[in-house]
Structure 1
Amino acid sequence: MIIRPATREDMDALADIYGHHVLHGLGTFEEVPPSAAELNDRREAIVRRGLPYLLAEDQGQVLGFAYAGPFRLRAAYRYTVEDSVYVAPGAQGRGVGRAALSAVIAACETLGIRQVVAVIGDSGNAGSIGLHRALGFTHQGVGQGFGFKHGRWVDIVWMQKALGGGAERAPDTPGLMLSGV
């Protein structure tokens, strides 16, 4: 398995993976799968900020992807990102999510990011919660009934991982570019 930056040419495969999770899962609160073109626009917005948008592939087959986006667009949040990770049906449990998300975290640390937040859809999402815990994220809380999808109220689980000393010292980089992109 290799981890590499996602490109425009990968968007059909990523749209298939993400579309599956939109239609059948609770890890995202979207209800209509975006097109490959829309996903590419989102990817380009992430990459323009210098943030990682990576995929995992094996023998030319895309198995999953992960990226980090700005947590919020207010200036004080410029050292905090929110991660996202999605794995293709049938590829779960093979280390795909762990490999892709680990690479995203490493890239964020290199950029001087201090906090990575995971906002996990569904308090019963054992796979994502376990993945984040295994990568050093700590549980910060549960927001009950934050979304309504597939005929039921869905919780969110907040998890967080400090990077580069977290809040223990002042930042040594300018942080994310949050406007003007």
Structure 2
Amino acid sequence: MLEEEYAPRRKLPPHLRKPPAPEAPFAYSIRDAVETDLPYVREIYNYYVRNSTVTFDEKPVTLKALRSKFGHVKKLGFPYLVAESPSGTILGYAFVYPWREKAAYRYTVELSIYLGAASTGKGLGKALMAELIERSRAAGIRELIAVIADRGADASIAMHKAFGFEEIGRMGKVGFKFDRWLGTVLMQKSIKKRG
């Protein structure tokens, strides 16, 4: 073999190289969740149960428990949303749930938003939050409460602040997961019907 056959290939100058193929845009639609979405919702949620402190659940949620909660949310007329890719993949979900079961709390809910790991950092959380707020307003809800872990959730806290949530308190060392104590940040937003 000739020596030049072993020589490293030279790169073309930038102006002569083919441009990289454009990345497909991150596309999704937001719609009401249906019961057949729940296995995908469970998969997203259980990822966080096993790998993070954003939820204080320590055991994966069962489909039976998820169906029960979903049914209760729907019975109350509260929003339960999913974000779906053009190919039908569930990318994330959001819903509200009664803050407390006593009747006087009926206009106050706790919200939850979870994204699939590959869908974070692309604006999907903000889109779900905006839609959840509007749908909650339409359902007659007046107060939104967010309970956020005090460690590892800086992006969530920043997003809630950007949507007008105010920090209303902190609770320290109320959860114990992954061999460490965790606290929560409480945030609240008042909403009213438009018009």
Report the TM-score when normalising by structure 1: 0.87
Q: Secondary structure at the match of 1:40?
A: helix
Q: Secondary structure at the match of 2:181?
A: strand
CA distance in 1, matches of 2:110, 2:74: 14
Preserved CA contact (<8 Å) 1:67 1:104: yes
1:3-152 equivalences under 5 Å are 3-59=30-86, 60-152=88-180
Where does structure 1 lack aligned partners over 5 or more consecutive residues?
A: 166-181
Following TM superposition, by how much is the alpha carbon of 1:140 offset from its aligned partner in structure 2, in angstroms?
Answer: 1.1
Q: Secondary structure at the match of 2:40?
A: helix
Following TM superposition, by how much is the alpha carbon of 1:88 offset from its aligned partner in structure 2, in angstroms?
Answer: 0.6
Spell out, residue by residue over 1:72-113, the C-alpha distance to the aligned partner (whole angstroms, 9 max, x if none): 011211111110110111211111111112211111111221
**What is the aligned-residue RMSD (CA, Å)?**
1.3
| Equivalent position amino acid for 2:186 in 1 | W
> Larger radius of gyration, structure 1 or 2?
2
Report the TM-score when normalising by structure 2: 0.81
| Equivalent position amino acid for 1:39 in 2 | L
Q: Secondary structure at the match of 1:31?
A: coil
Following TM superposition, by how much is the alpha carbon of 1:30 offset from its aligned partner in structure 2, in angstroms?
Answer: 0.6
Preserved CA contact (<8 Å) 1:11 1:37: no
CA distance in 2, matches of 1:123, 1:110: 33
| Equivalent position amino acid for 1:43 in 2 | F
Q: How many aligned residue pairs are there?
A: 165
Task: Percent identity, please.
Answer: 38
Q: Secondary structure at the match of 1:20?
A: helix
Preserved CA contact (<8 Å) 2:53 2:152: no
Where does structure 2 lack aligned partners over 5 or more consecutive residues?
A: 1-27
Spell out, residue by residue over 1:27-68, the C-alpha distance to the aligned partner (whole angstroms, 9 max, x if none): 111101112232122111111111001011111111110100
Preserved CA contact (<8 Å) 1:3 1:56: yes
CA distance in 1, matches of 2:85, 2:163: 22
